[in-house]
DNA sequence: TGTACATCAGTGAACGCGCGTTCACTGATGTAC
DNA sequence: TGTACATCAGTGAACGCGCGTTCACTGATGTAC
């Protein structure tokens, strides 16, 4: 990808600048983090003048928003894959999604950080925010439906409402991912085993809490 | 506080600029958020030239770090209060701390956001980071000791290790607080009841998961 | 096939901005004798 | 009590920076006839 992005164009027109900007933005994000993310640097990496992006995105926030939307779609598909690979039991599915959620955050830390810094994707173009919201909603929906399934089968702990339970489950893995990425727990990026172990711990806790 | 901060000085020397900067920083944070937080604006609000803060903090990150440390102390004492007010049962104490944690985040959203944006408090003066870390450690310690207490009494679910359980409990409420503050769950700042209800849901889930 | 023209997608200069930090300075305060 | 002096805690000008955005422009491409 990067080699393509950095390749010199031969023609005046880029051909697929919109996608190139998204790719370059992602590279930049991975390299410099959220705070190093500027429109001008993205343009530089895409090999284009700093004004060119304005033909594809109304403003900086819209570019960020597009990356966020793309990221939520990625997360959603990771969760979907985890869920469908986990068999029939809803708790197994919930657990698999929880692990997949944390792994997604560890695999794409900058993407993840960007996804939950909503102020960065605020744009004058309101459509962008909607795209991201929709993708986020889809991802959450996958979790929600597994919880609902458990409720329908009557295996949810008494007095647990499905919506609240889904939020609680999401919150738990989201919190763990955030704490790990922020370095609040003493876990470095290379200690995947410890992270995974903790994720399993959290997921077990949640599932034990939900199970009848 | 603001009126004091904005009051004109009569003397050349400020008297207590260090604290005034911390207070002004907090006001600014509440008003403009993390991204509007600049050294120059803090100085402006403290009624002092923009170079004056350098006599009290080596750089911008150090000021932020001091506010973060102060905030973790505040959180720690809120947790301590919740814990000791909840009686003898360790699960009651854990639950009370969970609720208090989320309430702290809702009461001090900007402070909370700042606390978990560690890159902002990175300073050339390493002592600052240490202060914040220590205060954070103390806060976590309060939770940890309640979990350890449960373990000692043998009321923890079989196979649960206390350290992992404490991290998991923390992650759960941290995740909920983050999701609410980011607006990822459809809860507005004024809907305290719904937030509180969700917090109780998460806490119940965690405690049910921990209990033997 | 050629031509006129509209539209698309680039360029590069410029604007205005506010930032963090440094510097030489100066007024105020405290201390030693 | 006075005086010399060191130190502390301010000031304001300046530096260099990179940013987001706008603008008039131009080269390339597509389309109608």
Distance from C-alpha of A202 to C-alpha of A181, rounded to nearest angstrom: 16
CB B98 within 8 A of CB B173: yes
In this predicted structure, what is the pLDDT of residue B1? 34
Strand C contact nucleotides, protein CB < 7 Å: 8-14, 18-24, 27-29
> Would you call B165 an interface residue with chain A, using a CB distance cutoff of 8 Å?
yes
Other Cβ atoms less than 10 A from the Cβ of B12: the count is 5
**Percentage of chain B modeled with pLDDT above 70:** 95
User: A93-126, pLDDT tens digit by residue?
Assistant: 999 999 999 999 999 999 999 999 988 998 888 8
With an 8 Å Cβ cutoff, are B164 and A201 in contact?
Answer: yes
| Nearest residue, CB atoms, A175 vs list B164, B171, B210 | B171
pLDDT band at A8 (very low <50, low <70, confident <90, very high): low
With an 8 Å Cβ cutoff, are A165 and B205 in contact?
Answer: yes
Q: Which two tokens stand for residue B77?
A: 């004492």
Give residues 45 to 104 of A whose Cβ lies within 8 Å of B: none
Distance from C-alpha of A63 to C-alpha of A68, rounded to nearest angstrom: 9
Distance from C-alpha of B51 to C-alpha of A91, rounded to nearest angstrom: 58
Distance from C-alpha of A158 to C-alpha of A210, rounded to nearest angstrom: 9
Q: Å from B74 (CA) to C15 (C1')?
A: 45
User: A28-52, pLDDT tens digit by residue?
Assistant: 999 999 999 999 999 999 999 999 9
Distance from C-alpha of B60 to C-alpha of B67, rounded to nearest angstrom: 11
User: B105-150, pLDDT tens digit by residue?
Assistant: 999 999 999 999 988 998 888 888 889 999 999 999 999 999 999 9
> Would you call A158 an interface residue with chain B, using a CB distance cutoff of 8 Å?
no
Q: Which two tokens stand for residue B111?
A: 């402070």
- What is the dihedral angle through the alpha carbons of B183, B185, B188, B192, rounded to the nearest 10 degrees? -130
């Amino acid at each position: 990808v990067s080699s393509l992005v950095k390749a010199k164009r031969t023609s005046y027109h880029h051909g697929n600048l919109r996608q190139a900007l998204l790719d370059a933005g992602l590279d930049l994000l991975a390299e410099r983090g959220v705070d190093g993310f500027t429109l001008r640097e993205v343009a530089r990496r895409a090999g284009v003048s700093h004004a060119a992006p304005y033909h594809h995105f109304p403003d900086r926030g819209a570019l960020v928003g597009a990356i966020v939307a793309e990221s939520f779609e990625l997360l959603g598909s990771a969760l979907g894959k985890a869920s469908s690979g986990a068999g029939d039991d809803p708790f197994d599915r919930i657990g698999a999604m929880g692990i997949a959620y944390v792994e997604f955050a560890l695999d794409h830390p900058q993407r993840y950080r960007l996804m939950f810094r909503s102020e960065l994707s605020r744009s004058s173009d309101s459509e962008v925010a909607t795209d991201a919201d929709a993708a986020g909603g889809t991802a959450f929906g996958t979790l929600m439906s597994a919880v609902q399934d458990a409720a329908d089968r009557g295996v949810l702990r008494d007095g647990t409402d499905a919506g609240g339970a889904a939020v609680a489950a999401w919150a738990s893995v989201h919190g763990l991912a955030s704490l790990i990425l922020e370095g609040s727990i003493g876990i470095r990026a290379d200690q995947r085993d410890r992270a995974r172990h903790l994720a399993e711990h959290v997921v077990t806790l949640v599932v034990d809490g939900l199970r009848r």
